[in-house]
Amino acid sequence: MPFGYYFDYTYIVLIPALIFALYAQAKVNSTFKKYSKFENSRGFTGAEVARRILDANGLFNVQIVHIKGNLTDNYNPSNQTLSLSDSTFNSTSVAAIGVAAHECGHAVQHSVGYAPLRLRMGLVSITPIGSKAGFILLLVGLIFSNSTLALIGLALYSLIALFQAVTLPVEFDASKRALETLRADCLLEDDELPYAKKVLSAAAMTYVAALVSAIAEIFRLLLIIGNSRRRN
């Protein structure tokens, strides 16, 4: 049989998204590494800055913990815990300060009831279930040449893209809050703030890449459904 019989051309759709995702990940790693060499003039560690920001916002109940890894920092609204990684917790670099402040931005969002964060929290539990069930329905629909069932499955699978879309304003707003706080509370000098901004901008690009990848996959699956309908 000819090679073309085995080749799924729809994967071509994913190539630009894959390249963008790889670039975004490389960019955030290289940017963080670059500005990790610049120590903040006040000598604050990431954990110290996080504590100052949280306390300044009345978030004394938010616990700061040290976790393993590099750039695995996160804020968990379910138990109100801010986790800082090896590359952030004890680091005095401008990059670490920016990341710590960003995670604090999520804690502040949670405390003020920031709508996009509340929506994302609601999607956290249903997205994995819906997307898995959707993929199964999509597969069954394709196997039995039922385009309606396949489209329903794709709609559920698309919850992944919805989650990524909702994530964007949450991340952008957290970075905005972080930079405003670092400036207003004089936690970084004026000449250090642009470095922190570059780190956070590079990190934001990875979330854009995740959304682009999700949309590309949905478009690919639409092509597969369309091809299936034409064959039948």
Q: Is residue 30 pLDDT above 90, yes or no?
A: yes
Burial class, 108, CB count within 10 angstroms (exposed 0-12 / middle 13-18 / buried 19+) = buried
Q: What per-residue confidence (pLDDT) applies to 114?
A: 98
Q: What angle do CA 212, 149, 137 make, to 5 degrees?
A: 65
Q: Is residue 26 pLDDT above 90, yes or no?
A: yes
- Annotated catalytic sites, by residue? 103
Q: What per-residue confidence (pLDDT) applies to 52?
A: 98
Burial class, 9, CB count within 10 angstroms (exposed 0-12 / middle 13-18 / buried 19+) = exposed
The single-letter DSSP state of residue 39 is B
Give the pair of three-digit tokens for residue 125. Answer: 């539990």
Residues 91 and 181: their CA atoms lie apart, in Å, by 19
Model confidence at 9, pLDDT cuts 50, 70, 90, reads confident
Q: What is the pLDDT of residues 112-170, one digit of tens each?
A: 999 999 999 999 999 999 999 999 999 999 999 999 999 999 999 999 999 999 999 99
Give the pair of three-digit tokens for residue 100. Answer: 């710590």
Contact in structure between 103 and 65 (CB atoms under 8 Å): no
Q: What per-residue confidence (pLDDT) applies to 7?
A: 57
Residues 141 and 159: their CA atoms lie apart, in Å, by 18
Which residue reads 């629909």 in tokens?
Answer: 141
Q: What is the pLDDT of residues 161-170, one digit of tens each?
A: 999 999 999 9
Q: What is the pLDDT of residues 167-195, one digit of tens each?
A: 999 999 999 999 999 999 999 999 999 99
CA–centroid distance for 180 within its chain: 21
Q: What per-residue confidence (pLDDT) applies to 124?
A: 95
